[in-house]
Chains A and B, each alone.
Chain A
Amino acid sequence: MEKFAVYVPKLITKKENFAPGHRACIGCGEALAVRLACKALGDDVIITNATGCIEIISSQLPYTSWRLPWMHTLFENTAAVASGIEAGLKAMTRKGRGLAVEAKVVAMAGDGGTSDIGLQALSGALERGHDFLFLCFDNEAYMNTGIQRSSATPYGASTTTSPAGKVSIGQFAWKKNVPAIVVAHNAPYVATACPSYPFDLMDKVKKGLETNGPAYVHILSVCPTGWRCLPELSVRIGRLAVETGIFPLYEVESGRYKLSFDFPKLRPIDDYLKSQGRFKHLSPDEIKKIQTRVTEEYQKLKEIAARS
């Protein structure tokens, strides 16, 4: 999907449903991802948005960046509120009092609102099979409250609640694999995306929206503030995450895995780690450990994709 480089951008809609003028940091990968996602979503959606960076930066009273029906929910109940809206729309349509347009429900949350606090509501909504799309914008920590670790923070990253020092290497656990958890719920469409691959991201969001039943797209969003990297490298770091294999892009349609990009040879993980201050304390041994794990996981993913 990422072949479309030169002329296709001119064919992307010029309508911005996520308006400029919001308060995201410079180089925010998440704001970029939301903007692209909104282009793919179109006009006929209702969005529920968990507490998190996106909610904070886009809705400071009396301003809003949303040109779509949008609702702020709590950290823990985004998917539950989305389920309620979906069920409500269904009931209203049945009674002949539905909307004039066929609206879809989209839930948006950060990694905290997805993999930690919102996980049980997400699991419930997936299990009940509501027709909705869940977008997780993963910047790998609680960024808007001051870079606290979440279960999506990768191994070795230094955050304010997992600081690197003499006795600690930073985050001690491996990143939680939320897409795999969603796949285990038998969701019809699961994908991973990154705004550094814009057409791939838009395509996946669109596919998720059109899916009948629950769909989930996990979007890696580079955070220059929390990752301690240069804001102008935001897009490149996203590409490095994919090219080194630490965040592979794939789709799972009805349980069948398909790699979106398959590189004959992965870049060394060092390329990705050295670009960010949160990893700068890592010793060569730790980097080797991460490299082994990444290679192993990527190999596993390739095998699953080859089997299905």
Chain B
Amino acid sequence: MIKLTIDGKKVAAEEGGTILDAANQAGIRIPTLCSHESLRPAGACRVCTVEIATNGAKSLTTACDYPVEAGLKVSTTSEKVMEARRLAVELLLAQRPHSSKLQELARKLGVKQPRFVLAEQECILCQLCVRTCQEIVDVEAITFVAQGKDRGVAEPTVVHSLDKCIGCDACAYVCPTESITVTDIGDTRTINTPSGKLEFKLKQCQVCGKYWAPEKQLDYIIEKWHLEPELFATCPDCRD
């Protein structure tokens, strides 16, 4: 166990854990947006900013990806921290002012109308969908474009690749700003993404006739786990 101090409170944390984990365990709440317990941290949204002091030198960092160190002094509520968090949320809110999750975050942090030009954008680049697709679904259908050297040329954005996407909708579930949505109408599933619409054919249950899952997703599962295709001829409700 590693001993550190968070907001003046002595806290014991597990080695390899982050400041966010340690704070949560000690009952100290740090607001987050792009952090998810099942995914690797990205430090993209900067909402979980905290102030750390090592050997007297103070600096701001993100709690979600900063590993705990012995003797670390963390402040989660200093004026500098709150200012940084408010600015981060203000910038995000200016990008997507109608997001209820961002509005709630803003309310909690006391951010009112953003001072910046409101520009309704499709995506705030939190990377949750990208990480979900890579780490949970193991498909890597969603990628970033215009990062690194291309940054000055094009707007950075996330792109769904129709070739790789299996239509599973995990990205829509994890998206905090409802930028990715899924609708099933008749035998077609449509995934609306910032980079365009993707359409998938749904499989019909042989017994009840319900359209219950994208064919491409079932094919992927059958291939990956070497299953019998007959298993998916019926929907879960009609299976014995």
Which of A2-10, A130-138, A154-162 is the contact stretch? A2-10
Q: Is the CB of B136 within 8 A of A11?
A: yes
Across the interface, do A10 and B136 meet the contact criterion of CB distance under 8 Å?
Answer: yes
| Identity of the chain B residue whose Cβ is nearest the Cβ of A7 in the assembled complex | B170
Q: Per-position contact with B for A204-220: 1 when CB-CB < 8 Å, else 0? A: 00000010000000000
Q: Interface size for chain A: under 10, 10 to 19, 20 to 34, or 35 or more residues?
A: 20 to 34
Bound form: Cα–Cα A101–B173 in Å: 26
Chain B residue nearest to A263 (CB atoms) is B210
CB-contacts of B185-240 with A (<8 A):
189, 208, 213, 217, 221, 237
* Nearest CB on A from B58, distance (A): 23
Please indicate the chain B residues that have their CB under 8 angstroms from the CB of A166 in the complex. none
Q: List 18 A-B contacts (CB under 8 A).
A: A3-B169, A4-B170, A4-B173, A6-B168, A6-B213, A7-B136, A7-B168, A7-B170, A8-B169, A10-B38, A10-B136, A11-B132, A13-B37, A100-B29, A102-B108, A199-B173, A243-B237, A267-B208
Q: What residues of A have a CB within 8 angstroms of the CB of B64 in the complex?
A: none
Give per-residue flags for A242-263: 1 if the beta carbon is below 8 A from chain B beta carbons, else 0.
0100000000000000000000
Q: Is B104 an interface residue (CB 8 A)?
A: yes
Q: How far is the CB of B234 from chain A (nearest CB, A)?
A: 13
Separation in Å of the A233 CB from the closest CB of chain B?
Answer: 11
How far apart sit A5 and B137, CA to CA, in the bound complex (Å)? 12
Min C-beta distance of B166 to chain A, whole Å: 9
Asked if A239 and B221 make an inter-chain contact with CB atoms under 8 angstroms apart, the answer reads no
Interface bits A94-126 vs B (CB < 8 Å: 1, else 0)? 000000111000000000000000000000000
Whether the Cβ atoms of A3 and B184 lie closer than 8 Å is: yes
| Interface residue A307 (Cβ < 8 Å from any Cβ of B) | no
Q: A6-B217, A243-B237 are in contact. Are A11 and B36 (CB under 8 A)?
A: yes
- Give B133's nearest chain A residue, CB to CB: A7
What would 5 more interface pairs be, CB under 8 Å, given A6-B221, A7-B170? A3-B182, A3-B189, A6-B168, A8-B169, A15-B37
Q: A44 on the interface (CB 8 Å rule)?
A: yes
Contact residues of A: prevailing secondary structure: loop
Are A236 and B170 also in contact (CB < 8 A) when A7-B137, A100-B27 are? no
Does B37 lie within 8 Å of A14, measured CB to CB?
A: yes
B33 CB-CB contact with A under 8 Å? no
In the bound complex, residues from chain A placing their C-beta under 8 Å from that of B27 are 100-101
Provide the residues of chain A in CB contact with B217, threshold 8 Å.
6
Interchain nearest-CB distance for B11 vs A (Å): 14
Residue of A5, A11, A102, A210 with most partner-chain B CB within 10 A = A11
Shortest B48–chain A CB gap in Å is: 16
Q: Kindly count the residue-residue contacts between A and B in the assembled complex, taking CB atoms under 8 Å apart.
A: 46
Contact across chains for B29 and A11 when beta carbons are under 8 A apart: no
Contact, CB under 8 Å: B37 / A239: no
Of the candidates B29, B173, B184, the one whose C-beta lies within 8 Å of that of A8 is: B173
The 0/1 profile, CB within 8 Å of A marked 1, for residues 152-183 of chain B is: 00000000000000001110011000000010
- Chain B contact residue count (CB 8 A cutoff): 24
- Separation of A82 and B37 alpha carbons in the complex (Å): 31
Task: Decide: B173 and A210 in contact? CB cutoff 8 A.
Answer: no
Chain A residue with the shortest CB-CB distance to B28:
A100
Q: Least Cβ distance of A8 to chain B in Å?
A: 5
Complex CA–CA separation, A11 to B131 (angstroms): 11
Closest B residue to A101 using CB positions: B29
Which residues of chain B are near A11, meaning CB under 8 Å?
36, 38, 132, 136, 170, 173-174
Contact B213 A5 (CB under 8 A): yes
Q: CB-defined interface of A152-192 with B at 8 Å, one 1/0 digit per residue? A: 00000000000000000000000000000000000000000
Smallest CB separation, B170 vs chain A (Å): 4
* Chain A residues whose CB sits within 8 angstroms of the CB of B169 once the complex forms: 3-4, 8
Query: Which residue of the partner chain B has the closest CB to A243?
Result: B237
Q: Give the Cβ gap from A218 to chain B, nearest Cβ, in Å.
A: 22
Nearest CB of chain A from residue B62's CB, rounded to whole Å: 21
With the chains together, A10 CA to B137 CA distance in Å? Answer: 9
The answer to whether B237 and A239 have CB atoms under 8 Å apart is yes
Indicate with 1 or 0, residue by residue over B17-58, a CB within 8 angstroms of chain A CB atoms.
000000000011100000011100000000000000000000
A6 CA to B171 CA, complexed, in Å = 12
Of residues 1 to 36 in A, which have CB atoms within 8 Å of B's CB atoms?
Answer: 3-8, 10-11, 13-15
Q: Report the minimum CB–CB distance from B125 to chain A (whole Å).
A: 19
Task: Evaluate whether A8 and B170 lie within 8 angstroms (CB atoms) in the complex, with A13-B37, A102-B108, A243-B237 already known.
Answer: yes
3 closest A-B pairs by beta carbon, nearest first, are: A7-B170, A8-B173, A10-B136
Chain B residues contacting A3 (CB-CB under 8 Å) are 169, 182, 184, 189
CA distance A14 to B39 in the complex (A): 12
Nearest CB on A from B107, distance (A): 10
Contacting residues, chain A, for B29 (C-beta < 8 A): 44, 100-101
Can you name the residue of chain B whose Cβ is closest to the Cβ of A12? Answer: B38
